[in-house]
Amino acid sequence: MMNSNVVETNLDHRRGQTVDYTVERLREAILAGRVVPGQRLIANDLTEELGIGRGSVREAFRRLAAEGLVELVPNRGAVVRRLSRKQVRDLFQIRVNLEGLGARLAAEHIREGDNRTRFASVWETVRPKHAPQPWHLFIQQNRLYHRTIVALSGNDQLAELIENLQLPLVMFQVGQVMQPENAEQSHRDHAAVAEAILAGDPDGAERAMRAHVQGAAEWILRLPDSAFRSRRDPTQLL
């Protein structure tokens, strides 16, 4: 007869794998913009779609809430996090310093290993083409560009800190009201940052990245209140 502790351990292991899978699927959907800030995640739909139990779904929601991607709201369940104007302002105050440091370190390390080849390849992929981009593609490429720079910094803790800011949520929240001139300015900023990094110019790279992030914050924070979570929103944290 099999030991009951072994059976329970195996069941817990399989359930843990199921929860991990569910978290990964939902995280990917949120960061790819397939579910958007303010959208409710329906547990019953997920149990049917993924073929998993409600307990696994609830645990996945709790993990995503701990990551800052969703909020658990009484009587509403899990809702993809939607940020207030103050929360966006606070995040960009942090981001301007962290990403400025990332660009500086990337420039310092650009001549090491295959860093130049890696960055040049990504820059060729995301650099502006003649045709306007759909906003969701712009956001995906923007994320790739910024993540690559931070990866080149060689500082794993910095990369983790920036990832934990969940900045794609901000971009998907405001992306649909992005104007062509905003995207064009972002492309010009990216070019200035790329030029400094490829030249191995730490001061120039940090200066260009800080200006880019600060400029993005300014146009986002000029948006009307409808672009942000209001105080009356039941998902608003106290």
Read off the CATH number of the domain in which 197 is found: 1.20.120.530
| pLDDT above 90 coverage of the chain, percent | 52
Q: Do 76 and 93 sit in the same domain of this protein?
A: no
Residue 235 CB neighbour total at 10 angstroms:
19
* DSSP label of 73: E
Q: Do 201 and 124 sit in the same domain of this protein?
A: yes
Report residue 47 as tokens: 């149990």
- CA gap 170, 220 in Å, rounded: 9
Asked if the model's pLDDT at residue 134 lies above 60, the reply is yes
209 in a domain, yes or no?
Answer: yes
- CA gap 69, 78 in Å, rounded: 10
Asked if the model's pLDDT at residue 41 lies above 70, the reply is yes
Highest mean pLDDT of the ranges 5-9, 105-109, 215-219, 227-231: 105-109
Q: 30, 65, 80 — which closes off a domain?
A: 80
Asked if the model's pLDDT at residue 205 lies above 90, the reply is yes
Q: Residue 159: its pLDDT value, please? A: 94
Q: Residue 37: its pLDDT value, please? A: 86
Helix extents (H) in the chain: 4-31, 43-50, 54-67, 85-109, 115-126, 135-152, 156-164, 167-174, 180-198, 202-221
Q: 38, 60, 80 — which closes off a domain?
A: 80
Q: Do 91 and 207 sit in the same domain of this protein?
A: yes
Q: Do 138 and 196 sit in the same domain of this protein?
A: yes
- CA gap 51, 199 in Å, rounded: 51
232 in a domain, yes or no?
Answer: no
Q: Do 144 and 123 sit in the same domain of this protein?
A: yes
**Integer distance in angstroms from the first to the last C-alpha of the chain?**
53
Q: Do 102 and 179 sit in the same domain of this protein?
A: yes
Q: Do 73 and 102 sit in the same domain of this protein?
A: no
The model's confidence at residue 28, banded by pLDDT at 50, 70 and 90, is confident
120 in a domain, yes or no?
Answer: yes
Q: 80, 113, 137 — which closes off a domain?
A: 80
| pLDDT above 70 coverage of the chain, percent | 88
The model's confidence at residue 12, banded by pLDDT at 50, 70 and 90, is very low
234 in a domain, yes or no?
Answer: no
238 in a domain, yes or no?
Answer: no
Q: Do 100 and 213 sit in the same domain of this protein?
A: yes
- CA gap 68, 29 in Å, rounded: 15
Q: Do 222 and 146 sit in the same domain of this protein?
A: yes
Q: Do 118 and 67 sit in the same domain of this protein?
A: no
152 in a domain, yes or no?
Answer: yes
57 in a domain, yes or no?
Answer: yes
**What is the CATH classification number for the domain harbouring 61?**
1.10.10.10
Report residue 63 as tokens: 């993990």
Q: Do 63 and 91 sit in the same domain of this protein?
A: no
Q: Residue 140: its pLDDT value, please? A: 85
Cross-strand pairs, 172: none
The model's confidence at residue 139, banded by pLDDT at 50, 70 and 90, is confident
* DSSP label of 134: P
Highest mean pLDDT of the ranges 11-25, 68-82, 127-141, 185-199: 185-199
Do the beta carbons of residue 213 and residue 167 sit within 8 Å?
no
Do the beta carbons of residue 50 and residue 140 sit within 8 Å?
no
Domain that holds residue 9: 4-80
Q: Residue 3: its pLDDT value, please? A: 41
Q: Do 108 and 217 sit in the same domain of this protein?
A: yes
How many independent structural domains does the chain possess?
2
Do the beta carbons of residue 210 and residue 98 sit within 8 Å?
no
Closest CA to 183 of 219, 223, 144: 219
Measured between alpha carbons, how far is residue 82 from residues 39, 86, 141, 181, 227 in Å? 9, 12, 22, 25, 10
